[in-house]
Structure 1
């Protein structure tokens, strides 16, 4: 039966929050520097800046903020591509798709070419084009994404290490502190805008399907193409990821706090997810006024972490040659390591510095679930999550259970049938779909003709809808 499948149109207009930034101490230093600069200008200073030796300008023009943004520029990339979206008037089961031009921004967070951006920037883009500050062009691959937080990781190949951006923290932000945004605004690459932090901890509902929590509000100029770009403080540290703008309003834009964004990035970059390897370390990033530390909260039994004698309360300060400050650092330090490598780990325990070693092991069970989820995504275009009994009972359905649709790939079989985020998949062919294993069972059935579409059932509100779903490819 026909139903509408609206896209996140507001996200297409989104953004890149911008604003020129600094914290209390930085603000004082900045103002002092400005006063000194003015005094020097009166005295007629004409020194050349080491940042731009060919420009005949006074040293005073190259403020700390100018230098910080210039230094950060190589870590910011511009993203372009064409994506397939459903037309607003398309109905359930129709092929009402259209091609639109997409653009956005991203930040390099690992020298191996890993880039953080908004998911809506790369969603449905089959050929993600990335351009860099030196006019280099590259094609990126989507590595992982989280539709709920609208974050994604993409990767480009490079002849050498890329410059990773310098991250700050969002745990000590101040209302009215200056900030700066950089992004691909309306296709004008490396546009820099400035403003202040207008408010903190905002909740923003941009559509029936997308709701953001705990955002930074800014009065920066927000334009299409800025989405996924950095929000800097005056030191050039990233404190937020620009994500949304209030349509119809002026000077109201939003960014995801960087501490929360990097926690999501840590999950997306999990070596268990990407390489089916395990370290068994569970912990969280602790934010303090002068530093961030990674504190172990637990260690899984029979895991490499347990073999390394790690304990709850340990502060991991380094793995190999990499300094550890966040959960993301743990994953990046272990990513790409062989299972035969014996890596030193430096730990602070009860004020004492200790050194131990860790050797990675194959992921048990969880890696298989991740692989199954990715298989369903590739074949059907659905990101599914199990629902507990209490949650499912609120739907007042006659079915025993179902899988919540968290995301739908626009160019997928599921998208072609009008399935959308928020639906609940309750059946395929003649079998129920209470777990991912049930979907896997259907994918593997020899008696399911891959040449013919498979009947499926979904719950949408109080309605039960059905359609016929084709597999993207024959599964093993």
Structure 2
């Protein structure tokens, strides 16, 4: 089964007054269907009313047309383009093999999230593209500026200048949605034009889906097809629950299994984009594994749930709050932690300096800690160095690993040492298989912890070099000379 990056776009413009009006209207129609007012719903909006199944045919004929009508002006299409020049270097052979400049285009969707033209979409919609065009529902076209593109979350934030306030979509609390809630998807599948699909929330907190580094998704059965990437999943109040980003499919079409990035994570990325800040997420200062059935039995838990702490960064947020290796985190700020991926998500969507209430189990007892979250430290400081000289690492650029650096490039935050940042493709090291991301551990038996130490050791006069390298899968010793 293939995982395809096709989301669904829905951009809905809603003021708080409009949402309240929509809730009152729905309650009134439901009451009329029963030919009598329902005392249980008096004074309640859709958001606060209890969730109930339809009680009559009249209720089943209620329509989402008013929601779609108000939402449609905020739905945009995104068209991207780039020119790729494939060439052999010889014009004759280029013509013979049909090579030369080729235009690549793609189609996606986006959500207007503020009246001044800020738009969120998927990173894979605009990645590596040189031209990005946004088309509004009224057919006006605008060139878009990229404010931020983040491959780790597969989100990108764009900006257009329309010269007037635009309809926009307000955010829902993605942590408050429940399985079974009705959702709508509005987009432009296959480029056929604006299309609305409906469904329910099929599952929450999907963490086994390798789409982004933050593996925490809302699953829906609302139909999602090609051309919908970067669009919105909205609730019946017309607010953004999540940005749809991928589906499971055997044929390339919708099979009722789609995944959306929760709005909480979307908001964090947008905040960083509009303020011009660096997108660095806070961390707990702890490494964790998912509690499996075997681990649960070993530590005396009645069921496998939560994330067990396996390592603590000295002086980090978890250490200062008194957490220890072996503690099992089960909640953060009242939200459940199902596994290690959930723990990473719950911390990652919060802000630097924010204090989180962490519930954990230790020695069979439930405990609570207040953890002041912070940005991962950039220690040791970055020190990129391009090595040069009569040695095997000539033409290799290395840098220092740190929790901050590792978070940015998607490595284990606790990994330390010297990492290969770039390798000259014509260098001896490249021919011997040295690759970006490998760690260099030692030279001639001397451990190296920083790029400065590596430069000093590799430049020592020698006729033979024994370089210990961590490829990520195994540690090998690379011997050069005699």
TM-score, structure 1 normalization: 0.49
Please identify the structure whose Cα radius of gyration is greater. Answer: 2
| Higher relative contact order (CA closer than 8 Å, sequence separation 6+) | 1
